[in-house]
Structure 1
Amino acid sequence: MNDQSNKSSSPMFSNSLMSADDALEFLIDSAQVSEHTEITSLDDSIGRILSEDIHSKINVPGFDNSAMDGYTIALDEKKLDSINQTFSVVDRIAAGSTGKELKKGNAARIFTGAPIPKGANTVIMQEECQASEDGSEITISRSIELNENIRPTGNDILKNDVILKTGKKIKPEDISLAASVGIGELHVFKRLKVGVFFTGDELVEPGNSLTVGKIYNSNRYALVALLKNAGCEVLNLGNIKDNFDSTCGALEKLSNDCDLIMTTGGVSVGEEDHVKPAVEKLGSLSLWKIKMKPGKPLAYGQVKNIPFIGLPGNPVSSFVTYCIFALPYIKKIQGNSNFKNEPIKVKTNFDCKRAKPRREYARVKIDYSSEIPIASLYPKQGSDVMSSVVWADGIIEIPENTVFDTGTILDYYPLSELTR
């Protein structure tokens, strides 16, 4: 094939392999937080990313209130050490109602959440109060302290407090908190629109019959599912013809309609790998080969100023490079402040007797029965063995140029965190 590319001048792009750490740092530094925001209702905000801090306009609670069912008392402070005190019950205060002012020596029946009336200075739970037969008096055998069982104004939240911060991925409890201060709408980043397409004349859609030399296109469904799981809107062109012109056409279309373009396969150096030269014709590549396994041919660049990420074609390679490199990049663009993958320390149930030149991301299952979790390898770690990902709890990071014995502590990433 003739060279139809415009070589990138980026110092990060060369024919040598880049370390995984340098590649991830380069991708993260290249990610620009979106400037596109919108307003959404609380009901539609789950999983979205906040684009501004949320301040409370009120105190929560907005008034002193009872923490339990019982009696609120206007206690004479001179009688704090007294026992067997009797109080006249002069009122009944339910949640949502307001009681009358209490004079010293009087009490009111009160229920959880009801406002503390003026004059009252403590609440005694009903189990500790002995009521007279007609309910007009109560006697409390023990000594009483001031402010028992009273939730003071602003006990949870003070007016003008920041209750939710920019960059937070909204969870159900965040929605509840916003509602508790009277906020009905949230400012969020717009969903990232990611355009995808897939090349390879050997690919067949699931549901159809296979002929000799053909395989089912699992990468298409994995990538779309991963992107949707990350809260992205996906424009899927599906399978396109495996040639240079069709690849250029798909890239041009997506560059007009999307915030990010992603593909799987076609970024290696074979004569039938058209994605890399097509990207170089329409834009530039800044990153290509990474010193890792599975993976290596991970491409990053621009197509007419729209970011492009090309994942490898083997299914495990595509899955792992998405989790380790592409998802943190996507999260940062989305405005998510928690975009970095945070490892957990685990102990290996295997050794490594031969140092390997590339960092490996191996599929493991975790045994949590010991103080430090123990990681066991799936027996087949090939880049084509997608069943290893389904079997695994997560991915363990095996450093390059390293040998170690069983029981060595390494970094581990749960799949539950790597895919959301």
Structure 2
Amino acid sequence: MNNPVLNHSCEQIQPPLLTMDKALNFLLDAAKTPTQTCNTLLNDSLDRVLAQNICSTINVPGFDNSAMDGYAIHLKNEQINRPGGFTFKITDRISAGSIGNTLESGCAARIFTGAPIPKGANTVVMQEECEVSDDGNSVEIWRPLSLNENIRPMGNDIKSGAIILEKGLKLKPQDIALAASVGINTLEVFKKIKVGVFFTGDELVSPTLALKPGQIYNSNSYALVAMLKHLNCDIVNLNNVEDTLDATVSALESLQYQCDLIITTGGVSVGEEDHVKPALEKLGKLSLWRIKMKPGKPLAFGQIGKSAFIGLPGNPVSALVTFFLFARPFIKKMQGINNYKNQTTQVQCNFDWRAPKLRREFVRVKLDHSTAPASANLYPKQGSDVLSSLVWAHGLVEIPEDCSFSQGALLNYYSLTDPTL
């Protein structure tokens, strides 16, 4: 699916824009799933991706135990579900980590949460429902009692042999805790992918420097590195690269065999100072370019050496939005994550959209959760240079091509703030 450009003059012939759906499907189909794995200790496994299913070799819990502090009772048959007023002799005390003696019929044992149910016991009564005699030798219960109250049976949480964590899972704290609960100390995970990055634009300078006329601070560098760190990638950062074809080619050559993926911002349009696209075509293969969407039309994808390549637009909002919509699911698939696609929910729009647009638009919105479903308020400035809009926004509303609607319409919403993403 090559999209050739004949030259860099204003008379060049451009191919038609590719729809977002086709572009995303093409990108994801090209993502190579990982094969290399390593073992990590549980304390080092947060945000790593499981390379195999994890099965439990034990039952959890491994024994019947008490769900609360109270008294384990050996009910006689004639005491089951009968009016209360029964007295039981206290013959034992069982704390968590200890094992009690066999409980005889009509007897009780003081028991604490998590302690094993002794042989003979067939129900547990919470301490608030028990009256202990003054001498502490017996307990009286006034309500009807049934069998197996407040008893957590063996294997109630996990059965031996069950799959508890599936291959392709990005490990969260609760996943790590579950592995520990069945006695697992190390996990086989996929090796991290290495992503090389650099940034084009002679007008870009570091925030450590004072601005000169015509210069702007390079926010894309910090945004891209932060997003890649959030995805738990190893990063090779070349920072700013001079806006020349030779410098761009040199930067790509230095990354093409040491990285799994190269990502750049800027230089993928058709201006005379846009050198990323011709450098990519010189060294490797350009497979995709120019998407029918806003913001973010000039998005490039290809291959250089052993590295996949994604060229993001230079405008800050365009770079962040296209990273979220395209690079993020691509990277997650490369990492071996099962659920790598972006998820959407439906929200109702608190704004009108009267003029249909030729390109699919992703507008920045803030949600009002006082309605059901939540309603989306539109940021007044939707330019691709308005980076503050992404700080204000909770997410993006997707407005299809050739679409108009009135307030209250239901549309797809992508969260930018969900910490689980």
Matched residue, 1:66: 66
Distance of 2:407 and 2:140 partners within structure 1 = 69
Deviation at 1:340, TM superposition (A): 1.2
Letter in structure 1 aligned against 2:50: L
Distance of 2:205 and 2:101 partners within structure 1 = 77
Deviation at 1:79, TM superposition (A): 3.0
Matched residue, 1:233: 234
Q: Do the aligned partners of residues 419 and 288 (structure 1) sit closer, same or farther apart at CA in structure 2, a change above 3 Å counting? A: farther
1:317 partnered with 2:318: yes
Letter in structure 1 aligned against 2:227: L
Distance of 1:118 and 1:68 partners within structure 2 = 18
Deviation per CA, 1:237-293, whole angstroms, max 9, x where unpaired? 111222112111111111121111000011111221111111111110110010011
CA RMSD of aligned residues (A): 1.9
Matched residue, 1:216: 217
Matched residue, 2:117: 116
Matched residue, 2:57: 57
Deviation at 1:116, TM superposition (A): 0.8
Deviation per CA, 1:43-67, whole angstroms, max 9, x where unpaired? 1111222121111111111001111
Matched residue, 2:395: 394
Q: Secondary structure at the match of 1:242?
A: coil
Q: Secondary structure at the match of 1:83?
A: coil
Matched residue, 2:136: 135
Q: Which moved more, 1:82-91 or 1:265-274?
A: 82-91
Deviation per CA, 1:311-344, whole angstroms, max 9, x where unpaired? 0111111111001111011111111112111112
Matched residue, 1:256: 257
Distance of 2:340 and 2:27 partners within structure 1 = 12
Matched residue, 2:149: 148
1:159-178 alignment to 2 at 5 Å? 159-178=160-179
Deviation at 1:83, TM superposition (A): 3.3
Distance of 1:370 and 1:84 partners within structure 2 = 52
Matched residue, 1:371: 372
1:6-405 alignment to 2 at 5 Å? 15-80=15-80, 81=82, 83-405=84-406
Given that residues 48 and 232 in structure 2 are in contact (C-alpha distance below 8 angstroms), is that contact kept between their aligned partners in structure 1?
Answer: yes
Q: Which moved more, 1:238-247 or 1:134-143?
A: 134-143
Gaps of 5+ in 1: 8-13
Distance of 1:51 and 1:303 partners within structure 2 = 27
Deviation at 1:372, TM superposition (A): 2.3
Deviation at 1:359, TM superposition (A): 0.6
Q: Do the aligned partners of residues 289 and 68 (structure 1) sit closer, same or farther apart at CA in structure 2, a change above 3 Å counting? A: same
Q: Secondary structure at the match of 1:248?
A: helix
Given that residues 229 and 419 in structure 1 are in contact (C-alpha distance below 8 angstroms), is that contact kept between their aligned partners in structure 2?
Answer: no
Q: Secondary structure at the match of 1:257?
A: coil
Distance of 2:45 and 2:138 partners within structure 1 = 51
- When normalised by structure 1's length, the TM-score is 0.94
Distance of 2:228 and 2:398 partners within structure 1 = 23
Gaps of 5+ in 2: 8-13
Q: Secondary structure at the match of 1:174?
A: helix
Q: Do the aligned partners of residues 247 and 418 (structure 1) sit closer, same or farther apart at CA in structure 2, a change above 3 Å counting? A: farther
Deviation per CA, 1:137-158, whole angstroms, max 9, x where unpaired? 2222223211111111001111
Distance of 1:104 and 1:418 partners within structure 2 = 54
Q: Secondary structure at the match of 2:254?
A: helix
Given that residues 257 and 306 in structure 2 are in contact (C-alpha distance below 8 angstroms), is that contact kept between their aligned partners in structure 1?
Answer: no
Q: Which moved more, 1:167-176 or 1:228-237?
A: 167-176
Distance of 2:83 and 2:342 partners within structure 1 = 60
Q: Secondary structure at the match of 2:299?
A: strand
Q: Aligned pair count? A: 411
Deviation per CA, 1:199-240, whole angstroms, max 9, x where unpaired? 222211112122222221111111111111111111001112
State, as a whole percentage, how many aligned pairs show the same letter.
Answer: 59
Q: Secondary structure at the match of 2:347?
A: strand
Q: Do the aligned partners of residues 249 and 6 (structure 1) sit closer, same or farther apart at CA in structure 2, a change above 3 Å counting? A: farther
Deviation at 1:82, TM superposition (A): 5.5
Letter in structure 1 aligned against 2:47: G
Given that residues 359 and 401 in structure 2 are in contact (C-alpha distance below 8 angstroms), is that contact kept between their aligned partners in structure 1?
Answer: yes
Letter in structure 1 aligned against 2:70: G
Q: Secondary structure at the match of 1:153?
A: coil
